[in-house]
């Protein structure tokens, strides 16, 4: 069987009513997306447009996700970690799994460096005057590498132009004023 991806949900048969019936029957959003060969985002979009789901702090935070990744990079670990960061900023960590928080701490440790991370933990907050060592960059041209199966993402050395953002601004990042506020390092670490 040839799979024909429909990133926006096309004529997949994934109507909001069908999706809701499958959700009520206990199917996960991921399994529904796979069943109709669409992305999970397409499933959410269909439900949202039909007014069948309420927004959550996480879904509101995801509006500030700076990149349109497509399927090729959707599951990249650095992209997931930036989503976790947005969720942490929106919820202050409430309702997040310990695994997500642990991975997020590991990201902050990589970005800040061991010494700055340890000092921030000791003080209970980050020193806003000390820049991080690295930031997250997305560029589809970044090749896969060690610990990066999909490519597209990399930790790159911080430059003055990065300011207090934890991501690199480039032609692939769409940053609203609100996104600029939430894509900064949090005042306190998880």
pLDDT tens, per residue, the chain with 190 residues: 333 344 444 456 788 888 888 888 888 777 888 898 887 778 877 887 777 776 677 777 888 899 988 888 988 899 999 999 999 998 888 888 999 999 999 999 999 999 989 888 888 888 878 899 999 999 999 999 887 888 899 999 999 999 989 999 999 999 888 888 899 988 888 8
**What's the distance, Cα to Cα, between the start and end of the chain in Å?**
45
Output the pLDDT for position 133.
Answer: 95
| CA–CA gap between residue 7 and residue 21 (Å, rounded) | 21
Output the pLDDT for position 6.
Answer: 44
SS3 content of the chain, % helix, strand, coil (to 5): 45, 10, 45
């Amino acid at each position: 069987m040839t799979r024909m991806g429909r990133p926006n949900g096309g004529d997949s048969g994934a109507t909001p009513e069908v999706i809701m019936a499958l959700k009520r029957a206990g199917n996960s959003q991921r399994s529904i997306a796979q069943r109709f060969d669409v992305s999970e985002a397409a499933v959410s979009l269909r439900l949202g447009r039909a007014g069948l789901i309420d927004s959550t702090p996480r879904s509101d935070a995801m509006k500030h996700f700076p990149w349109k990744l497509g399927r090729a990079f959707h599951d990249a670990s650095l992209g997931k970690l930036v989503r976790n960061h947005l969720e942490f900023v929106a919820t202050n960590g409430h309702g997040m799994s310990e695994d997500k928080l642990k991975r997020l701490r590991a990201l902050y440790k990589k970005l800040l460096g061991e010494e700055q991370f340890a000092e921030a933990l000791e003080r209970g907050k980050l020193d806003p005057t000390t820049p991080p060592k690295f930031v997250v960059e997305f560029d589809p041209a970044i090749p896969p590498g060690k610990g990066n199966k999909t490519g597209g993402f990399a930790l790159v050395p911080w430059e003055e132009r990065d300011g207090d953002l934890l991501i690199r601004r480039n032609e692939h990042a769409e940053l609203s004023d609100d996104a600029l506020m939430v894509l900064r390092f949090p005042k306190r670490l998880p």
